[in-house]
Amino acid sequence: MNTPPTYSRLIDAAHYLLSKRTHDRALVAITTDSTQTFTYGEYFARAAGYADTFRELGLKPGELVVLIQQPSADVMFAFWGALLMGAVPAIFPFLTEKLDLEYYARMVQKLVNISRPRLITTYPDLEPTLKGAFVDLPEPPMVTVTQPGRVGDADAWIAAYPDHITPDQVAFLQHSSGTTGLQKGITFSHQATLRYVESASSALGLSEADTYITWLPLYHDMGLIGTFMMPFLAGVGIVTMSPFQWVRDPKVMLRAFHSYGGTVTWMPNFALNFMAQRINPDDLEGLDLSSWRLLVNASEPVRAESNHLFSTHFAPYGFKAESLGVAWGTAETIMAITYTPLGQPPTIDWVDRKRISEERIALPVPENAPESMAYASCGRLIRGMELKIVDEEGRELPERRVGNVLVRGEYMFSGYYHRPDLTENAFQEGWFKTGDLGYVAEGELYICGRKKDLIIVGGKNVYPQDLEDVLNTVPGVKAGRAVAFGMLNEALGTEDIYVICEVTTPDPDERRKIEREIRQRLTRQADVTAHRVILKDLGWLVKSTSGKMARSANRDKYIQELQAQTAKA
């Protein structure tokens, strides 16, 4: 088995895969109707077909192309099509059936205003809306529907790759969702991406003998890097299905592990609960999952219970508890930069609940001690990165003290695209502020919470300010008097969204109308489902000393109110 050599630009990896692995399986795309297999040769021929189309449309090296496509093999071809010609691709979330078309168009407008793509490719249903969205811009991007199936000469594209593209240049972008996420096009240079892939692949023990099985969407960093670019650049075959297919029938994923001898996957925590709860053991008769050597749980807080639920549910079919791994990182560090050691379940750290919440000290206690609570380890740093825990004044803290997690090293983004102001704010004396709170014990990182009020639902980042912007426009809600926050739902293994708004009307029917309007708008404008919409009289919400709505203080107030009600009942 060959180990791919070290490259300096993504095109060199393409050259290696195309010349040395032409006939090996690169991609299997499972859809509800069919299964298609592509060798590296076939894969790059399709990618070259896209490069030809892009060139005919006038796209030039260095220019941004935004891909808004339904999950499919074609978006993976188009991405590499752009890379082959030296253009900069970015995959953008497509319209879901719940989201309002007009709001979606406005979101894309915001992205276009900042990122200034030259070309947007999309699917027929969305084309008219997008075409109409940019008519007022001085230099509107071209909007086009590309036809799948075209093939081209990838060798010719590789031979003609522009010399002026250097390893430190931006190779591609990634945007997270929501109005706030869109402001931040995260830039990945050739060099940082390739070095990251080398180091992370080694932490995961990846080899060309592995096979990835995945359903993660590619507009998300774990999907784009974890289950697409990393295995692809490491020469590991990928078997994909769409997230919709997986939600409807998660067994498809297990059947793929069985049929293709799958070895590795990445999933957010909620997916472990979902699969264990959804999949009926009767449907698994004859399935062999023993080839599965690694399930990396990442992108939302890891619950030891979820890991346990999953491994016990699927153990009879060959899934091994030691295949569970945990990883942590941010899109700004390319992706996950801490990993738990291979072949053993993540360490569970039992600490004193009171000491950690009141004094921010992770004091170890026996598992059965009163007031004990557990944190799952996120593992150790991969080589090439440094991490430190600091207090609010920026002073470094010793082991087992909870503070802000800062990182720096070789694998960092090159800044937010066209937003030097945001980039500058993201760093503190050269260290990237991850926004997570955690502690280090015996060299392993434990994440305990977030400094930012970010909500993570099913692995997807939701910015509370985006939801509050929606709430503040709902008739009947006192403008500026609304908060959104997340609370853990243990059964689902992820956070639920709670919103509290102040309203003037005491009328229950009016309040019911407002509540429905809030739910509808949150779904259509922000693509989220609120678990609880709580309407309160004026004056209920707490403001911080700076005059802003204090999300965590209001969450605590709400919890206390609930507890008081329960105590009364």
Q: According to the binding rule CB under 8 A, does residue 523 interact with other proteins?
A: yes
How would you list the strands of the sheet with 64-67, edge to edge? 142-145, 119-122, 64-67, 88-91, 170-175, 185-189
* 125 backbone φψ class: left, alpha, beta (φ>0; ψ -120 to 50): alpha
* Bridge partners, residue 27, by sequence: 38, 238
Given 529, 552, 560, 563, the residue binding other proteins (CB under 8 A): 529
Report in angstroms how near the CB of residue 457 gets to other proteins at its nearest.
9
- Shortest Å, Cβ 533 to other proteins: 9
**Rounded CA separation 556/325 (Å):** 32
C-beta of 247 vs 369, nearer to other proteins: 247
Residue 534 beta carbon to other proteins: minimum distance, rounded to whole angstroms: 11
Binds other proteins by CB under 8 A, chosen from 20, 60, 383, 512: 512
Query: Which stretch, 156-164, 348-356, 447-455, 523-531, contacts other proteins (CB under 8 A)?
Result: 523-531
Q: Binding other proteins by CB under 8 A: which of 521, 536, 551, 555?
A: 521
305-317 b/e (C-beta count within 10 Å ≥ 16 → b): bbbebbbebbeeb
Site string for other proteins, 479-498 (x = CB under 8 A): -------------x------
Residue type at 307 in one-letter notation: N
Closest distance to other proteins from the beta carbon of 263 (Å): 26
Considering the complex, what minimum distance in angstroms separates the CB of residue 520 from other proteins?
5
Q: Which residue matches tokens 């298609």?
A: 36
Cβ closer to other proteins: 248 or 383? Answer: 248
Q: 108: which residues sit within 8 A by CB, 6+ positions away?
A: 68, 92, 120, 130, 133
| CB-nearer residue toward other proteins: 32 or 428 | 32
β-partners of residue 145 are 122
User: Least CB distance from residue 523 to other proteins, whole Å?
Assistant: 3
| Residue 219 Cβ vs other proteins, minimum distance, rounded to whole Å | 18
Residues 209-248, one symbol each (x = binds other proteins by CB under 8 A, - = not), give --------------------------------------xx
Which CB atom, from 27 or from 477, has the smaller least distance to other proteins?
Answer: 477
Q: Which helix (H) or strand (E) holds 510?
A: helix 508-526
* Structure tokens, 298: 């990442």
Neighbours of 330 (CB within 10 A): 23
Residue 421: name the closest of 110, 88, 184 by CA: 184
Is the four-CA dihedral 80, 85, 88, 92 of positive or negative sign?
Answer: negative
Residue in 19, 32, 36, 428 binding other proteins, rule: CB under 8 A: 32
548 binds other proteins (CB under 8 A): no
Q: Are strands 119-122 and 460-462 parallel, antiparallel or unpaired?
A: unpaired
Interaction residues for other proteins, span 270-309 (CB under 8 A): 274, 278
Q: Does 472 bind other proteins (CB under 8 A)?
A: no
Output 9 or 521, the one with its CB closest to other proteins: 521
CA distance 564 to 569: 9
* Among 127, 155, 208, 249, contact with other proteins (rule: CB under 8 A): 249
Between 2 and 520, CB nearer to other proteins = 520
Subset of 72-111 contacting other proteins (CB under 8 A)? 97-98
CA distance 271 to 257: 16
Please give the order of strands across the beta sheet that includes 237-240.
35-39, 25-30, 237-240, 211-214, 264-267, 294-297, 324-329, 336-339, 380-381
Among 108-116, 217-225, 373-381, 528-536, which window interacts with other proteins (CB under 8 A)?
528-536
Please name the residues in contact with 9: beta carbons below 8 A apart, sequence gap of 6 or more: 161, 165, 166, 167, 171, 190, 191, 194
Within 435-464, the residues that bind other proteins by CB under 8 A are 458
Q: How far is the CB of 323 from other proteins (least distance, A)?
A: 25
Residue pair 369/351 in contact by the 8 Å Cβ criterion: no
* Closest CB to other proteins among residues 197, 474: 474
**Among the listed residues 6, 520, 552, 560, the single contact to other proteins using CB under 8 A:** 520
Question: Using an 8 Å Cβ cutoff, are 452 and 435 in contact?
Answer: yes
For 566, phi and psi rounded to 5 degrees?
Answer: -65, -40
Q: Which of 51, 522, 541, 550 is in the footprint of other proteins by CB under 8 A?
A: 522
Stretch that binds other proteins, among 74-82, 86-94, 139-147, 520-528 (CB under 8 A): 520-528
Closer to other proteins by Cβ: residue 33 or 136: 33
Which of 76-84, 103-111, 114-122, 516-524 is the region at the interface with other proteins (rule: CB under 8 A)? 516-524
> Closest Cα to residue 87, out of 177, 173, 16?
173
Query: Would you count residue 19 as binding other proteins (CB under 8 A)?
Result: no
Instruction: Give the three-class secondary structure for 423.
Output: helix
Q: How far is the CB of 489 from other proteins (least distance, A)?
A: 9
**Residue in the structure block whose two tokens are 């153990």:** 315
Q: How many residues bind other proteins (CB under 8 A)?
A: 24
Among 418, 519, 543, 557, binds other proteins (CB under 8 A): 519
Distance (Å, whole) CA 84 – CA 497: 41
Q: CA 85, CA 448: separation in Å to the nearest integer?
A: 43
What is the residue-wise DSSP string for 445-482?
EEEEEESS--EEETTEEE-HHHHHHHHTTSTTEEEEEE
Q: Which of 391, 516, 548, 561 binds other proteins (CB under 8 A)?
A: 516
Look up residue 155 and give its amino acid.
Answer: D
- 530 lies in the site for other proteins, by CB under 8 A: yes
Beta bridge partners of 105: none
Which spans of this chain sit near other proteins (rule: CB under 8 A)? 32, 97-98, 247-249, 274, 278, 458, 492, 512, 516, 518-524, 528-532
